[in-house]
């Protein structure tokens, strides 16, 4: 985890080493209101969303019509190599030209590139029937050769679209935006399978080709209506060949030198590798195991699309609550389970049962597959600087299409004898590969994590709970040091407050001092034992808990202590506790002030944990107590430190809340024989 933080902090987008023109682009993006819009009210995003969906519909609408021209349903025809060759020919140009397309996306207007790609594909599809007749005599591959033209301009469209998206939406919207784009793309794929199957069954292939041309024309119209922010940083007027080649090389250097990006691209390539096997053997499974025809093949492809839509909707619903790294790991496991069910259906003799199990497996594979891919895309978009983004996505397209070509080449290039008989074993092998990928991503995360497996599980669960249920966000950076003794202290509104602080400082465990009665609850007792919380008997002078806290701080740990003591109701007076100041002065621990807002008060612990919140946390700089630490340590000094700490907390609060808390702040009553100085009285106003 530390290594990953260092890598991200060293990237140009994190260190601020961005060209002045790019900073202007960001400023322009915010000034135009893009950063304030929800996704569905952002016209630019909606137009890009629709354009992508229509374009994907065009990419797949004519597939089954093309298979019809090859007599794919004949019993003596191996349909698996045909499907593999069709996929291979479409994606071969992406493998060859994606780096160049990515470089173009960094140098030229991205919207213009996408419009150009759609325009050329309109022309290609209008002439597709003639192209098929012209290439028909080119052997086994001739029938699929025209797909090279479609793939070439799809390779121009893809990196330009992926690089344009982050300039149209906020960073915290990227997961939802990618999920929505993936979801609509798969709805389009599903619709293409259903419509394409119907057209292939009842009409001549030429009808599907003309309909395909219409989809690309409509996509171009959507794109023309987009008004993206100006990009001047990457639009040079001229350059030499060596300079252009150097920029192309920079894309590969950036992608492969950045470990996090390199790993994400590897995951994406593996998903494409396995997905290519599945899509290639699916027609054979439907025909031979489920007794289906071309329309049935389209129906089962639509089931994959339904799974993709479900996964995309899940990501849209969860937003940024689910960490993309977690989504990738569990997504790999989910794909493996789905493929295992699909493989098992091949060996079931009853066609109805086999079709139900296989359809369920396909649906699960699609649901978790889109989770992996959307998470990979959002992480790359967040990590990579804008001026490199197109080239990095071009490198990603090279790697993913290369993996696809390896899979489809294995099935389509050799002259296999009845390879359709082995589709069940192929699916089993693919399921094992995906399960292994899930294990590897988990191992990588565990190796880099600050915590052990159990604590990592608890931390991830807490982060998901706070982001999803409490809608928690941290405003600004976390100022708690990564090492050394530290005391995190804030206002106390309800029992969920410790969870919020842990989520805000997730790179370091925080041990809290909590009421002893809570420590006796069964589940709570187990959790607080894992994070080394210290039970405190309220209403007594519990010296043992104080000594334990001092030992923890002297050992360099982080403690969480609420300066207001227990949970304070909105109408209750606030009586500050001196424990934070006393421990800080004794141990020299840094005191980190935090203010929590958007949290509803609940006296009952369980009610506070289950109540819906809209929580926000703001961290302040460590409170300077050096002058008080050097002074004589007495009650007067401790109370001055307490008030200074509380003032630092309230300085982070909205003005209305700060004034309201100051009005409820109660002056402590001095003990008998202890006459407070006028200076002390000024520290605790009513």
Residue entry with tokens 């519990």: 542
Query: What's the mean pLDDT in 173-198?
Result: 77
Q: What is the pLDDT of residue 349?
A: 86
Percent with pLDDT over 70 in the chain? 87
Q: What is the pLDDT of residue 641?
A: 94
What single string gives the DSSP state of each residue in 483-527? SS-EEEEE---STTHHHHHHHHTTTS--EEEEEHHHHTSHHHHHH
Other CB atoms within 10 A of residue 357 CB: 18
Percent with pLDDT over 90 in the chain? 23
Q: What is the pLDDT of residue 148?
A: 85
Query: What's the mean pLDDT in 173-192?
Result: 76
Q: 429 falls in which pLDDT band (50, 70, 90)? A: very high
Weakest mean pLDDT among 212-216, 227-231, 403-407:
227-231
Q: 539 falls in which pLDDT band (50, 70, 90)? A: low
Weakest mean pLDDT among 19-23, 44-48, 150-154, 631-635:
19-23
Other CB atoms within 10 A of residue 534 CB: 22
Q: What is the pLDDT of residue 133?
A: 81
**What residues contact 152, with CB distance under 8 A and at least 6 apart?**
93, 97
Residue 295 has pLDDT above 60, yes or no: yes
Mean pLDDT of all residues belonging to the chain: 80
Write 44-49 long-range contacts (CB < 8 A, 24+). 44/168, 44/226, 44/227, 44/228, 45/165, 45/168, 45/169, 45/177, 47/222, 47/223, 47/225, 47/226, 48/161, 48/164, 48/165, 48/168, 48/181, 48/222, 48/223, 48/226, 49/180, 49/181, 49/184
Q: What is the pLDDT of residue 80?
A: 78
Residue 63 has pLDDT above 90, yes or no: no
Q: What is the pLDDT of residue 555?
A: 92
Q: 558 falls in which pLDDT band (50, 70, 90)? A: very high
State in Å, rounded, how far the first CA of the chain is from the last one: 46
Q: 245 falls in which pLDDT band (50, 70, 90)? A: low
- The H-or-E segment that residue 591 falls in is strand 590-597
Q: 239 falls in which pLDDT band (50, 70, 90)? A: low
Q: 408 falls in which pLDDT band (50, 70, 90)? A: confident
Kindly report, residue by residue over 135-167, the tens digit of the pLDDT: 877 777 777 888 888 888 888 888 888 888 888
Residue 645 has pLDDT above 90, yes or no: yes
Residue entry with tokens 């100085």: 677
Of the candidates 551, 39, 521, 19, the residue with the CA atom closest to the CA atom of residue 232: 19
Residues 164, 229: Cα–Cα separation, whole Å: 10
Residues 380, 678: Cα–Cα separation, whole Å: 59
The two tokens of residue 192 are 């293409």
In terms of C-beta density within 10 A (0-12 exposed, 13-18 middle, 19 or more buried), how is residue 17 classed?
exposed
Q: What is the pLDDT of residue 669?
A: 53
Query: What's the mean pLDDT in 678-684?
Result: 38
The two tokens of residue 667 are 């002056």
Kindly report, residue by residue over 104-120, the tens digit of the pLDDT: 888 888 888 999 998 99
**Does residue 381 contact residue 389 with C-beta atoms inside 8 Å?**
yes
Domains in the chain (CATH in brackets) are 34-235+244-448 (1.20.1250.20), 454-669+677-683 (3.40.1130)
Other CB atoms within 10 A of residue 77 CB: 15
**Does residue 578 contact residue 590 with C-beta atoms inside 8 Å?**
no
- The H-or-E segment that residue 473 falls in is strand 473-475
Residue entry with tokens 């619709």: 191
Q: 241 falls in which pLDDT band (50, 70, 90)? A: low
Residue 277 has pLDDT above 90, yes or no: no
3-state secondary structure of 115: helix
Q: 437 falls in which pLDDT band (50, 70, 90)? A: very high
Q: 556 falls in which pLDDT band (50, 70, 90)? A: very high
Which sign, positive or negative, has the C-alpha torsion 273, 279, 280, 285? positive
- The H-or-E segment that residue 590 falls in is strand 590-597
Between 513 and 583, residue with greater pLDDT? 583
CA atoms within 13 A on the CB side of 32: 18
Residues 108, 394: Cα–Cα separation, whole Å: 14
Q: At residue 539, what are phi and psi to the nearest 5 degrees?
A: 85, 5
pTM of the model: 0.65
Residues 472, 619: Cα–Cα separation, whole Å: 14
Q: What is the pLDDT of residue 541?
A: 67
Residues 111, 100: Cα–Cα separation, whole Å: 16
Residue 227 has pLDDT above 90, yes or no: no
**Does residue 476 contact residue 581 with C-beta atoms inside 8 Å?**
no
Q: What is the pLDDT of residue 36?
A: 53
Q: 4 falls in which pLDDT band (50, 70, 90)? A: very low
Kindly report, residue by residue over 612-629, the tens digit of the pLDDT: 888 999 999 999 999 998
Q: What is the pLDDT of residue 177?
A: 84
Q: What is the pLDDT of residue 377?
A: 83
3-state secondary structure of 177: helix
Q: How far is CA 188 from CA 91, 211, 278, 308, 367, in A?
A: 19, 14, 19, 11, 15
Query: What's the mean pLDDT in 420-439?
Result: 91
Residue 304 has pLDDT above 70, yes or no: yes
What single string gives the DSSP state of each residue in 655-682? HHHHHHHHHHBPPPPPPTT----HHHHH
Q: At residue 338, what are phi and psi to the nearest 5 degrees?
A: -60, -45
Q: What is the pLDDT of residue 480?
A: 92
Q: At residue 631, what are phi and psi to the nearest 5 degrees?
A: -80, 175
Kindly report, residue by residue over 314-371, the tens digit of the pLDDT: 877 887 778 888 889 999 999 999 999 999 999 998 888 999 999 999 999 988 988 8
Structure letter (DSSP) for residue 230: P
Q: What is the pLDDT of residue 586?
A: 92
Residues 53, 616: Cα–Cα separation, whole Å: 36
């Amino acid at each position: 985890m530390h290594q990953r933080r260092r890598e991200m902090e060293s990237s140009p987008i994190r260190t601020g080493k961005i060209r002045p023109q790019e900073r202007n682009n960001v400023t322009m993006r915010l000034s135009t209101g893009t950063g304030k819009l929800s996704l569905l009210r952002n016209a630019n995003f909606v137009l890009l969303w629709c354009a992508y969906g229509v374009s994907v519909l065009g990419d797949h609408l004519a597939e089954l019509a093309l298979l019809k021209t090859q007599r794919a349903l004949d019993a003596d025809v191996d349909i698996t190599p045909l499907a593999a060759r069709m996929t291979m020919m479409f994606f071969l140009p992406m493998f060859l030209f994606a780096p160049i397309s990515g470089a173009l996306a960094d140098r030229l207007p991205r919207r213009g590139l996408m419009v150009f790609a759609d325009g050329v594909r309109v022309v290609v599809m209008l002439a597709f029937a003639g192209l098929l007749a012209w290439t028909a005599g080119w052997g086994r591959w001739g029938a699929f050769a025209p797909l090279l033209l479609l793939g070439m301009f799809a390779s121009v469209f893809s990196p330009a679209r992926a690089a344009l998206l982050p300039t149209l939406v906020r960073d915290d919207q990227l997961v939802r935006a990618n999920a929505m784009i993936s979801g609509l793309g798969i709805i389009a794929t599903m619709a293409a399978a259903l419509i394409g199957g119907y057209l292939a069954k009842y009409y001549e292939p030429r009808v599907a080709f003309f309909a395909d041309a219409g989809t690309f024309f409509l996509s171009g119209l959507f794109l023309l209506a987009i008004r993206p922010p100006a990009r001047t940083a990457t639009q040079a007027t001229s350059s030499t060949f060596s300079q252009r080649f150097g920029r192309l090389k920079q894309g590969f250097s950036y992608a492969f030198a950045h470990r996090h990006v390199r790993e994400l691209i590897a995951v994406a390539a593996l998903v494409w590798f396995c997905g290519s096997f599945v899509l290639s053997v699916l027609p054979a499974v439907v025909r031979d195991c489920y007794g289906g025809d071309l329309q049935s093949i389209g129906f089962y492809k639509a089931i994959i699309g339904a799974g993709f839509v479900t996964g995309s909707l899940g990501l849209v619903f969860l937003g940024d609550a689910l960490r993309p790294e977690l989504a990738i790991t569990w997504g790999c496991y989910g794909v493996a389970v789905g493929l295992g069910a699909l493989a098992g259906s091949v060996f079931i003799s009853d066609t109805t049962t086999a079709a139900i199990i296989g359809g369920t497996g396909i649906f699960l594979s699609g649901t978790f597959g889109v989770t992996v891919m959307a998470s990979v895309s959002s992480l790359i978009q967040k990590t990579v600087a804008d001026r490199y983004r197109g080239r990095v996505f071009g490198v990603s397209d090279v790697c993913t299409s290369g993996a696809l070509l390896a899979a489809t080449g294995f099935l389509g290039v050799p002259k296999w004898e009845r390879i359709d008989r082995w589709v069940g074993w192929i699916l089993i092998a693919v399921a094992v590969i995906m399960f292994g990928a899930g294990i590897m991503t988990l191992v990588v995360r565990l190796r880099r994590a600050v915590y052990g497996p159990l604590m990592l599980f608890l931390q991830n669960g807490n982060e998901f709970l706070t982001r999803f249920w409490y809608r928690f966000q941290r405003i600004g950076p976390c100022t708690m040091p990564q090492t050394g003794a530290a005391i995190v202290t804030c206002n106390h509104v309800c029992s969920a407050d410790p969870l919020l602080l842990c989520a805000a400082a997730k790179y370091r465990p925080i041990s809290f001092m909590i009421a002893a009665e809570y420590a006796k609850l069964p589940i709570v007792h187990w959790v607080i034992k894992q994070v080394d919380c210290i039970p405190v008997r309220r209403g007594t002078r519990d010296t043992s808990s104080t000594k334990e806290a001092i030992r923890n701080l002297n050992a360099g740990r982080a403690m969480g202590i609420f300066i207001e003591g227990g949970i304070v109701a909105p109408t209750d007076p606030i009586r500050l506790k001196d424990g934070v100041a006393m421990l800080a002065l004794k141990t020299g621990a840094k005191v980190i002030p935090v203010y929590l807002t958007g949290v509803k008060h609940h006296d009952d612990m369980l009610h506070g944990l289950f109540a819906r919140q809209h929580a926000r946390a703001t961290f302040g700089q460590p409170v300077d107590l050096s002058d008080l630490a050097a002074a004589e340590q007495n009650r007067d000094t401790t109370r001055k430190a307490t008030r200074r700490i509380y003032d630092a907390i309230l300085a982070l609060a909205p003005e209305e809340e700060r004034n309201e808390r100051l009005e409820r702040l109660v002056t402590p009553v001095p003990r008998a024989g202890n006459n407070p100085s006028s200076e002390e009285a000024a520290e605790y106003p009513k």
